[in-house]
Amino acid sequence: MYVIIWSMGLSITISIFMMTLCSTISKTSKKDREKSSPFECGFDPKSSARSPFSIQFFLIAVLFLIFDIEIAIMLPIILTMKLSMSTMWMFSITIFIIILIIGLIHEWNNGVLEWAK
């Protein structure tokens, strides 16, 4: 019992020591304007690095990511077709594809897929 308490205390002490050591070492002493500005091939930047981001592009990217993950989920389902009953397999894959299509139709009706208005 004492060995467990001793090892826990030692691990906590080492963790706290490492955290304080890392925070002490990582402190920067002075801020430099050149180091904090964006780097463009050694020249001064032409415009602000904080340009506005297109929400439409973000929505399309999230939509692509969702469909990409759903395809990755569907691949093992296709491989397990030999091991399961075909009626149950067809039912589950049909429900999965219907949910995908309903989600796509919903996003289409909300205008998410319209790039230029």
Q: Is residue 87 part of a domain?
A: yes
Residue 11 has a pLDDT of 94
Residue that has been written with the tokens 């067809």 in this structure: 90
DSSP 81: G
Q: Is residue 102 part of a domain?
A: yes
Q: Is residue 104 part of a domain?
A: yes
- The answer to whether the pTM exceeds 0.85 is no
For residues 59 and 67, the answer to whether their CB atoms sit within 8 Å is no
CA–CA distance, 97 with 74 (Å, rounded to integer): 9
Residue 34 has a pLDDT of 62
Can you name the residues that pair with 40 across neighbouring β-strands? 43
Per-residue confidence of the chain (117 residues) as pLDDT tens digits? Answer: 888 899 999 999 999 999 999 888 876 656 666 666 666 566 665 666 666 777 777 778 888 888 888 888 878 877 777 777 778 778 888 888 898 889 888 888 887 777 666
**Domain containing residue 101:** 66-109
